[in-house]
Amino acid sequence: MMARLDPYTPTPAARAGRIVMTVMPFVMGLICVLLSFVPFGRIFGTSVMPAFALMAIYYWGIVRPEMFPVYAVFLVGLVFDLLSGGPIGLWAFVYVLTYIIVLTQRFLVINAPFSVFWLGFLMAAAFAGVVGWAAASLFYGTLLPARPIVWHLFVTVALYPLFSMIFGRIERRILPSA
C-alpha cells in the first residue's frame, strides 16, 4: 500500500502571516489618516498638515495595487471624512479618483528612478488638490481660497520621500517579493 499524500495546508501562523501581508497597505493607509490629525503644526508653528493618506495611497497604488484595492482606498477616504468633520464622501471621492488615475499611469513610474516616482506623486497630489478644492467649493457654494491648498501640496510633496522610504522598508521587511 502506498502512502497517501495530503494536500499542503498552511499552518495557522502561515495563514496569519498571509493575512498581515494582505492588509498591511490598508493598515498603513489608516495609520496615515490618524497621523493627519496629530497636531504637528503646533510644533512647527503652522496649521498646514501634509496629506499623509494620499502618500500611502500613491505609494501602494504604484508598488502593490493588488494589495490596496479601490475599496480599501474608498474606506481610507471615508475614515478621513468621518474624522475630519468635513463633507462625508469628499476625500473618499478624491482619493478613489486619484487612485484610478494613478493606476492608469502606473506603467510610467513603476521601474523609473525615484525622481520620476516623486514627480508622479507631485502630479497626483496636484490633481487631488485641485479636485478636492473644486469639490469643496461646489459643496460650500463659494470659491474657496487656493493658497492653503498650494501650501498643503508643497508640504505633502516635500515630505513624500521620507514616507516613501518608510513604506519601502515596511514592504521589504513584511511583504513577500513580487
At residue 30, the pLDDT reads: 94
User: According to the 3-state scheme, what is the secondary structure of 75-123?
Assistant: HHHHHHHHHHCCCCCHHHHHHHHHHHHHHHHHHHHCCCCHHHHHHHHHH
Tens of pLDDT, residue by residue over 24-60, are 889 999 999 999 888 776 666 667 788 999 999 999 9
